Amino acid sequence: MDNNIERREFLKKISTLGLGMGLVGAGAPRVFAGGSPNKKIVVGVMGTNSRGAALAEGFARLPGAEVAYICDVDEKAMANGIKAVEEGGQKKKPKGVKDFRRILDDKALDALVIGAPDHWHAPAAILALKAGKHVYVEKPCSHNPHEGELLVKAAKKYDKVVQMGNQRRSWPNVIQGINEIKDGAIGETYFARAWYANTREPIGHGKKTSVPSGLDFDLWQGPAPRMEYQDNLLHYNWHWFWHWGTGELLNNGTHFIDLCRWGLEVDYPLQVSSNGGRYAYDDDWETPDTQTASYDFEGGKTISWEGRSCNGQPIGGHGVGASFHGTEGTIVIHPGNGYTLFDNNGNEVKEVSMDSNNELDTTGPGYDRDAVHFTNFTDAIRSSDSSNLNSPVEDGNKSVLLCQLGNIAYRTGRTLDCDPDTGKIVDDKEAMKLWKREYEPGWEPTV
């Protein structure tokens, strides 16, 4: 085993981030470059039931940051977010606000951190940008391709820092592994494979019922056309309904397809195909629980995705991951901050790894590995320079678009031809109807 970086060394290094010291690993961000390391970054966190609570705790723990607001339409989730900030060690209690739009007029607020459901990501980000705030938005950065276009346009128009939450872009050992691929460690790389496997339970057949006390369901739906409340929707199962969610391909595929696109150095595909279905159970789940997707690019390169939401059998010992295959070997990116290099005979040549004290779960990879991505974001705000962002939205959105194209191919049941310069679907009016969505009147996002 070669170059095994111990977790304690990594933690020692990230603990100095607030003091302006550098990160380990090639391609790590500059800290406080061109700006004052003493400037406190004040954030509001929107959506704190699950991943948002981890975001709230993470920013509360981050040196030089303060969580001033916890915004959630559910009183229980709001309390959960406030508790997360307290557990993060922040002595000043954040203010709980139901409607995040109320905080955007606060001149002391630097940024909005968005952990709300997918249908809110781009609309909320655009409203924050219009109000002069920076944005940290969880993946996927949009619910549909049109929203992604609007968000990229808004980031440029209002000249603010917008980072997407694909944290692996900031993990030092992952950066090192991607750089090895680009430097020819496995020869000419032509194929990348991404996968995700879990054992999710059925969600049953929901009943239309009254909205629970303490939940503003109208505001929860926000930009989405109004639907009746049903008892198997909140707080997580919205992922599996097209009206609000984007399925496993964007829920987890975004992370690993992003790695594939990064390592292969590709942007937009020539062709996209996808197959699968809801196979495991008979319930209200609309998106596929089993899905494959294939993306072909110019230059003879292909990305493949395999998602199994209800069968957790790992691939190569890993339930999630990405692998790169070239003329002289293979590199497998681990679920954590590491990778393994194999030669073409299957022999392990090199392993780089790091354990975390936080197991991977639905809320994220743990503060150890979130911190570098958060710091990269706050550093860019301090320096007023987005050029060193590890996942600026204009780049992150390219990976999100790949996943969205996979879902469009699945929903139309045919291969999509795409413009390799823009990603737009070519000569398919039916498929392009899924490029954007309908909105509740008065909620249409505009730049």
Taken in order of first residue, the domains within the chain and their CATH numbers are: 12-169+366-392 (3.40.50.720), 172-360+396-432 (3.30.360.10)
Predicted TM-score (pTM) of the model is 0.90
Q: Under 8 Å CB-to-CB from 403, ≥6 apart: which residues? A: 140, 246, 249, 250, 253, 254, 257, 293
105-118 pLDDT tens trace: 999 999 999 999 99
Handedness of CA 53, 54, 55, 60 (dihedral sign): positive
Q: What is the pLDDT of residues 10-63, one digit of tens each?
A: 444 444 343 332 333 333 333 333 445 678 999 999 999 989 999 999 999 999
Confidence at residue 20, expressed as pLDDT on a 0 to 100 scale: 32
Low-confidence ranges of the chain (pLDDT < 70): 1-37, 355-366, 368
What per-residue confidence (pLDDT) applies to 369?
Answer: 78
